[in-house]
Amino acid sequence: MISPDTKQESWRLNKFVALCLGVSRRKADELIDKGKITIDGQPARLGQQISDANKISYNGKLLELQSKQLIILHKPTGYLCSRASQGGVPTIYKLLPKNLHHLKPVGRLDKDSSGLILMTNDGDFAHSMTHPSFYKIKRYLVTIDQPLQPLHRQMINDFGVQLPDGRSQLTLERQHEGDDCRWIVEMSEGRNRQIRRTFDALGYTVKKLHRTNFGNYSLGDLKRGEWREEKFTNS
């Protein structure tokens, strides 16, 4: 019951569970360890191998392998990167056909931010793109409410700004020569609202935040609210 397209004679259980549920292999191991996964009706064990003849279930529901999928979505402002709407605010799933609703966002953009969102059912890929140890560069176009002072630019670039959850260091470059309000910001971290909080700590308000790149993936000419299928790369 693994998949009619599968050519492998055997699979490692955690890899199969991760692919079916769109989670990382580490998370799959947690589900196995907690007894959420069964093989032919019996509790699964960590490290088990499975074959096409086995029936694997999660909380009693039979799992079947799906093809790996990846899309890029151009998120407009005013949408949440979640499945559940809050206070009537729409989610990014309103922008997608129902046959893509099983995909999960790789990282987040807050409601007031726009730009590139990767969405996939491959948990290992999502982990490799978001865990700090993999050092994936993200690029943003950021507009602040007043010109950035040279000392503050040096602090952000060279020393970092101390936030409650740790030091935040960003790479800044002007979008246009002589314009100190609009910046290209690059970072490899992905802490909650980190760019906004970094500027706020120095007395600035971010008026616009738009992500254009994530690793090797680029928004390109994709229009707001639109999406496209993408190939997996070693980004």
Out of 5, 29, 33, 110, which one is annotated catalytic?
Answer: 110
Phi and psi dihedrals of 15, rounded to 5?
A: -65, -45
Q: Which residue reads 């639109």 in tokens? A: 226
Q: Is 110 a catalytic residue?
A: yes
Residues 6+ apart with CB under 8 A from 11: 2, 49, 50, 51
Runs of H (alpha helix) within 99-149? 123-130
Q: How far apart are CA 7 and CA 73, in angstroms?
A: 32
Residues 6+ apart with CB under 8 A from 56: 1, 2, 13, 16, 17, 20, 37, 38, 39, 44, 50, 62, 63
Take residue 49 and report the two structure tokens written for it.
Answer: 């191998």
Query: Are the beta carbons of 214 and 220 closer than 8 angstroms?
Result: no
Active site residue ranges: 110
